[in-house]
Each structure stands twice: as structure tokens, then as C-alpha cells.
Amino acid sequence: MLAMLTATPAAAPAEARTVSAAPATRVAAAAVPTPAPRGWQWPLQPRPPVVRPFDAPEQLWSAGHRGVDLAGPPGAPVRSPAAGIVVFVGVVVDRPVLTIAHADGLRTSLEPVVASAHRGDHVAAGQVVGRLAHGASHCSPASCLHWGVRLGEDYVDPLSLVLDRRPSILLPFSPAAARS
């Protein structure tokens, strides 16, 4: 699991310097839908199909899916979903992983990614940081990008960063507004 990563670059912001290994995974669940933060975008372009959505476990230690899987062909460019600093590039278990710390305290992990960016690099939103690796994916035999996002030790749904999930609200008809 990604919880065993540690990354300590000298140039990283304070909130990105330590990724602690927690015995239990915490998952954040938003009670009220909020608009997508400005500046976030899909790490694969064009907008990819979601193969497996975020699935918060009922208990901290329960099974769940602490990210989303996005369909993509091997070799597809993987982009930074928001501006930040690359804080980890390496292999976790059997998959190449790239992690980016963002100024808002969120931390993105992308796997399996053959990185072109290096630890300590400042990256812009939409900048190519690597390529989707072939194999080593839990979507095998198909390929997919696993996109995880954490705020501190809490996992959050990455789709909440790129989709506006506020409910639609119908307003009463106004003849004056209809004329303008």
C-alpha cells in the first residue's frame, strides 16, 4: 500500500516533507458536495473512462478503493492534475509511483507511471510528468492509471477535484428574467 512511502526532499514544502506510515488508513468523506477546486484537471487527456471509482471503507482498516482507476493505453502521457512539487519517484512493491505535493496540502499519487519528472521538480497543472507503464497494474490485463489523493493522512475522492458534484437546483420561473 502507498502508506509505506517516505519522501523527504529538501526543497519540498513543509506539508509534503513527511509521508508517515500509518497502521490504519483514514478516509475523508465529504458530507456536503462542494465545487471542484480551480486549477485541477484529469491526469490523462482527453477525459478518460473511470474503470473503478473511489470506494471509502466503512472502517479505517476495512477494504476499499482509496483512489480511482482511469482507463488509458500503455505509454499514454500522464499529467500533473495540479501545480506542485514532485516529492517521490520510485517503486512501491512492484509498481512505479510518482507523488506530487500541492500547495493546498493535497498529495497526489499516480501509478504505474514511468516518470519523466524528478523528485524536487516544480510541475504545472497539465504538465506531462511521465508515461503510463505497461503491466504492473491492478487492472491487468487492461492498463489503467490509479490516481490517489490524500489530505494529511486522509484519502479523498480524486473525482471531487475535477467534477462539480453540487446538486442541480431549479429556480422559480421569472418572467422578467425570461425577457432579458
pLDDT at 70 over 70: yes
Residue 158 exposed, middle or buried by CB count within 10 Å (0-12, 13-18, 19+): buried
Show me where the domains of the chain are located: 69-163
Structure confidence at residue 67 (pLDDT) = 84
Whole-number mean pLDDT of the chain?
Answer: 76
CA pair distance 29, 32, nearest whole angstrom: 9
Confidence band of 133 (pLDDT split at 50, 70, 90): very high
pTM of the model: 0.70
Task: Please write the tens of the pLDDT for every residue from 139-174.
Answer: 777 889 999 998 888 888 888 898 865 566 666 776
Structure confidence at residue 11 (pLDDT) = 37
Structure confidence at residue 167 (pLDDT) = 62
Task: Please write the tens of the pLDDT for every residue from 18-67.
Answer: 333 333 344 444 333 344 456 899 999 999 999 988 777 776 666 666 78
Do 75 and 145 touch, CB atoms closer than 8 A?
A: no
Angle at 61 between CA 160 and CA 153, to 5 degrees: 50
Structure confidence at residue 32 (pLDDT) = 34
Percent of the chain with pLDDT over 90: 43
pLDDT at 125 over 60: yes
Q: In 3-state terms, what secondary structure has residue 16?
A: helix
Q: How far is CA 106 from CA 53, 67, 84, 142, in A?
A: 19, 13, 9, 29
Confidence band of 81 (pLDDT split at 50, 70, 90): very high
Architecture of domain 69-163: Distorted Sandwich (2.70)
